[in-house]
Structure 1
Amino acid sequence: MRPTGEGGTETQAKDLCLRLLTDRARSRAELSDRLAKKGYSADIAERVLDRLTEVGLVNDADFAQQWVHSRHTYAGKGKRALALELRRKGIGQEDATEALAQIDSEDERARATELVAKKLRTVSTDDRDRAVRRLVSMLARRGFPQGMAFEVVKEQLDRAGAETDGLFDET
């Protein structure tokens, strides 16, 4: 039923997009990439995506807002990591900036504190240098600023009773 040399009809492309959107919200770029991988022509993909955008099923600004909220809240991602994820999802700079604005520095710090407190339950503080490296590295991988990571780790180690005097001396 597929025309020779093409991925399929406009209806088939629309059906594929709708199936993908039932799993989770997706950016226009993600759907476009998926249609291209399935062999749909650029013309068909553009028409289908324009129609889905017109009816509100594809909205990059809404997607970015949802993505940032979800990944910050449930995956513990910092703004830097989220910005990179949004770029990989094909979200424009304006939509990404607006979505990332919902996380202020206090929110980011609070989430970093939660993550460190949780991780401290499984990290030995006997070797404080190693504990600091592991905790700061964990926050760095999640996209939290280095300065904030060190501050949060120091506070949480102090709170946990670990001796951190001299560890963060300015040089």
Structure 2
Amino acid sequence: MVHLFAMIRRRFMRAGRDPDAPAPIPLSISDLSPWSDEPQGDGISYLPSHTSPVEVTGRQSWGADTGGRPTPRDEPPGRTRSGNRSPGTRRRDASGPTAEPTGDPRPRAAVRAFDALASRAHTVKQMRTRLTRAGFEDDVVTDTVARLLELGYLNDGTYADAWVATRREHRLHGEVRLRHDLAQRGVAPETITLAVVDDGEELTRARAAIERRVGSLTGLGREAFSRRLGSFLARRGFRASIVTAVVRDAFASSVGDSDPPGISEDEPDASSDSE
């Protein structure tokens, strides 16, 4: 056994290789691609295991000085290893400056309009403003809006009806606020009048709107109570007559001036009769 080991050692010494070094690792041609484009010898390269690949062709390499970690030398400029853009660098478009679109702009305006309508409803004024800001000429905007009106995708009357129903039910807005908001969106006065009709529930909505506010105002004097609650109802858009009635009743209830429900001033108290 000793003679066999000595013979193997002499063969390694003749070949100029250290017998105590790790065994060579055969690499295929495909494994050589990160370092060289050309196969060497018979297509098999023997690379000692303690040797690290080095950068030969400019590709991403794992040098011995990095401890086996990737080096950032071959990463594109302006980006970090995590893929995020480095601070202070600008985004570059490899395709160069974008050419100005040619041809009839009306199809592009229609696409922009349908994209806007897919997110929410628009009035005629809102759609005109949106297309104008997108850079379309006035004649293109006019033709596009007219076509949308013809197809029924724009309808200020339908918009106003939906707006009033939603704001009354979920926001508890009053008539004054509804008229103001629709006018700001370009709805015609006659269309607003048809949409904001008195449904007889204005007083009920005003009382529901202050339910959570009255508790925080308990203990205030009449003037401060009326000023704060009145301002709140005015911002909700209720008429002055509605505000006055609701504030008066709310203050009377907060200080205990109102009669208990179901008992009027003319009816005797049952507890007094029992005494």
Flag whether TM exceeds 0.5 (same fold).
Answer: yes
Change (3 A) 1:50 1:2: farther
What is the one-letter code of the residue matched to 1:92? A
Does the 8 Å contact 1:128/1:162 carry over to 2? no
Deviation at 1:162, TM superposition (A): 4.5
Deviation at 1:66, TM superposition (A): 0.7
Does the 8 Å contact 2:218/2:254 carry over to 1? no
Matched residues in 2 for 1:24 and 1:123: separation? Answer: 38
* Match status 1:96 vs 2:192: yes
Q: Deviations over 1:7-55 (max 9, x none)?
A: x821221122222212221101110011112221111111111111111
Q: TM-score if structure 2 supplies the norm length?
A: 0.53
2:165 aligned residue (61, 69, 93):
69
Residues 28-39 of structure 1: matches in 2 within 5 Å?
Answer: 28-39=124-135
Higher helix share: 1
**Secondary structure of 1:91 counterpart:** coil
Matched residues in 1 for 2:122 and 2:101: separation? Answer: 27
Does the 8 Å contact 2:174/2:202 carry over to 1? yes
1:18 aligned residue (114, 118, 131):
114
Map of 1:135 onto structure 2: 229
What is the one-letter code of the residue matched to 1:22? A
Q: Deviations over 1:72-94 (max 9, x none)?
A: 22222211111111111111111
Matched residues in 1 for 2:112 and 2:215: separation? Answer: 44
**Secondary structure of 1:95 counterpart:** helix
Change (3 A) 1:59 1:113: same
Map of 2:248 onto structure 1: 154
Question: Where do 5+ consecutive residues of structure 2 fail to align?
Answer: 1-98, 259-275
**Secondary structure of 2:136 counterpart:** coil
Matched residues in 2 for 1:9 and 1:162: separation? Answer: 69
Aligned-residue CA RMSD (Å)? 2.1
**Secondary structure of 2:210 counterpart:** helix
What is the one-letter code of the residue matched to 2:207? T
**Secondary structure of 1:18 counterpart:** helix
Change (3 A) 1:59 1:2: farther
- Higher Rg: 2
What is the one-letter code of the residue matched to 1:150? T
What is the one-letter code of the residue matched to 1:91? V
Matched residues in 2 for 1:123 and 1:10: separation? Answer: 57
Map of 1:169 onto structure 2: none
**What is the count of residue pairs matched by the alignment?**
159
Question: Where do 5+ consecutive residues of structure 1 fail to align?
Answer: 165-171
Deviation at 1:118, TM superposition (A): 2.4
* Match status 1:107 vs 2:193: no
